[in-house]
Amino acid sequence: MATFVLVHGAGDVGWYWHLVEAELRARGHDTVAPDLPCDDAAGLPEYADAVAAAIGGRTDLVVVAQSLGAFTAPLVCDRVAVELLVLVAPMIPAPAEAPADYWANTRYEDEERVGYDDTVELFYQDVPPELVAEARRRGRAQSEARMGEPSPLRAWPDVPTRVLICRDDRLFPTGYLRRVARERLGITPDEMDGGHTPALSRPRDLADRLEAYAAEEGLLGGVRHSGYDAELRRYDRALLKAWDLQADDHVLDIGCGAGWTTRQAARMARSGSALGVDVSAAAIERAREIARTEGPGNVAFEHADAQTHRFPPERFDLAISRFGTMFFEDPVAAFANIGRALRPAGRLVMMVWQSSERNEWDVALRRALEEGGAAQAAAASTGPDPFSLADPPAVTRILEAAGFADVAFTDVHEPVYYGPDVAAALEWVRGFTSTSEALDRLAPAAAARAVGRLRETLTAHLGDDGVWFDSRAWIVTARRRREEPARAGRRGG
């Protein structure tokens, strides 16, 4: 699960986040909400130091910053490894900008807005009165002594960043923050209801947003980063964003394996559900075991072949797959069956490998097996073809014949991970069907030489953070046509 590092705004304290902390902790996450120094001696570097000290050795960090806290948040990234930045109703800093200059630099006074002399009406108009009273009691005078100092920020950190603005914010109107986010970060903000202090007025809604953002970055997996999930972890961010899940969606996960993607979908569709299916009984049993331990409660798994299984008709809003759709005996029949499980205009989002020559892992491993006929043995393998959906025109024809429309392809270029060291990577690679079949067909001496070449290949790809190979995939998206196709027969029939 994730650690949410919650940075308050000007003149405030960590208590501001207490309701959001309760929500996130109830869902199994860790939270940190330090009080930042507000005295004359403290500036932005000291604020960032205070946050880093509170984090300690925690990992899987999501730094969430409210208002002026957004000046501190990017500086934290220079001190600790941050996975995601979320800026809420923020003052978005430019490099080397002093907080005191923010208002003029962003042309704040040019914005049309209603002036409010009353602090409650400006900051807390939708907060329960008892929380307003407590917030004002706990609030501190924000020192301005060092607000005129340029920020040490030199460039925005290379960390995924989300901006969340509040539709009823009286301090920062939505039009103003949309413009500043676009000008400074090139980001279109997300929006939620509420005024400037959503952690007090809408803590559950805000926690939902934060958890969904963390899920999109692959931070909610619990049992993960081993085996197949570890190999593909760099792909998760792009895939989860492509899902574009709504809170009440019902999701079908094809070829779910041990269920990591299914659990992520269930967490993102909190009011909906997710069903994972796989032809491997062992994988489904493992998925159920993990779900019993870590949830969520709206996830289920079935041992089933998606090509022939009788899914409830028009039950799902979205069908997803992470490299689980390349092995159907009859792709047209399989996708037609999946399509019948989708509601009219329901979506398909699947990730598949691009061609072999664009995937270094396949090229390098086949090259290592060349001597002694291992490459020919691998080529003669009767096992599944991971590149069967690599050709966009062919895939488009398959999906259209199965009743889908609006087929589109997005190129994703990320490395795959084979293990922390050569020994672990070799064990993983020898488990591939193509590798094991090729080695099994060789004489013992030739097989030993082939394993030696595999070891050399893996050693050449070993870095400080493990063994990695270049790879490329497609994210394929499509929609079920509202009417049934004229014929959903078998390919070539």
Superfamily of domain 3-214: Alpha/Beta hydrolase fold, catalytic domain (3.40.50.1820)
State phi, psi for 2 to the nearest 5 degrees: -95, 160
Q: 3-214 and 224-480: same fold?
A: yes
pTM of the predicted model as reported, rounded to 2 decimal places = 0.64
113 has pLDDT over 80 = no
Strands 250-254 and 316-322: parallel
Preceding omega of 296 cis (within 30 degrees of 0): yes
Strands 316-322 and 342-353: parallel
Using CA atoms, how far apart are residues 368 and 371, in angstroms rounded to an integer? Answer: 8
Cβ partners under 8 Å of residue 175, min gap 6:
111, 112
Please state, as a whole number, how many other Cβ atoms lie within 10 Å of the Cβ of residue 268: 26
- Asked if 262 and 276 count as a contact pair (C-beta separation under 8 A), the reply is yes
- For range 300-311, the mean pLDDT: 97
Better-predicted residue by pLDDT, 184 or 294: 184
- The alpha carbon dihedral of 150, 152, 155, 157 has a sign of negative
- Model confidence band, residue 226 (pLDDT cutoffs 50, 70, 90): low
pLDDT for the residue 221: 54
129 has pLDDT over 90 = yes
pLDDT for the residue 489: 45
- For range 184-207, the mean pLDDT: 94
Average pLDDT score over the chain: 90
Q: What pLDDT, in 10s, does the model give residues 269-290? A: 888 999 999 999 999 999 999 8
- Asked if 369 and 481 count as a contact pair (C-beta separation under 8 A), the reply is no
pLDDT for the residue 493: 34
pLDDT for the residue 376: 53
249 has pLDDT over 70 = yes
Angle between helices 331-341 and 392-401 (to 10 degrees): 60
* Domain regions of the chain by residue span: 3-214, 224-480
377 has pLDDT over 70 = no
- Model confidence band, residue 337 (pLDDT cutoffs 50, 70, 90): very high
Edge to edge, the sheet with strand 416-419 lists: 416-419, 466-469, 462-463
- Asked if 274 and 316 count as a contact pair (C-beta separation under 8 A), the reply is no
Cβ partners under 8 Å of residue 398, min gap 6:
331, 332, 335, 389, 491
Residue written as token pair 């809420």: 88
Cβ partners under 8 Å of residue 10, min gap 6:
67, 68, 142
pLDDT for the residue 26: 84
Q: What pLDDT, in 10s, does the model give residues 54-91? A: 999 898 899 999 999 999 999 999 999 999 999 999 99
Using CA atoms, how far apart are residues 187 and 68, in angstroms rounded to an integer? Answer: 18
- Model confidence band, residue 419 (pLDDT cutoffs 50, 70, 90): confident
- For range 190-217, the mean pLDDT: 90
pLDDT for the residue 488: 47
- For range 394-414, the mean pLDDT: 97
225 has pLDDT over 60 = no
Cα–Cα nearest to 153, from 84, 62, 66, 92: 92
Q: What pLDDT, in 10s, does the model give residues 13-42? A: 999 999 999 999 988 889 999 999 988 888
What percent of the chain shows pLDDT beyond 70? Answer: 94
Answer CATH for 224-480 from 1.10.3720.10, 3.40.50.360, 3.50.50.60, 3.40.50.150? 3.40.50.150
Cα angle 354, 357, 360 (rounded to 5 degrees) comes to 90
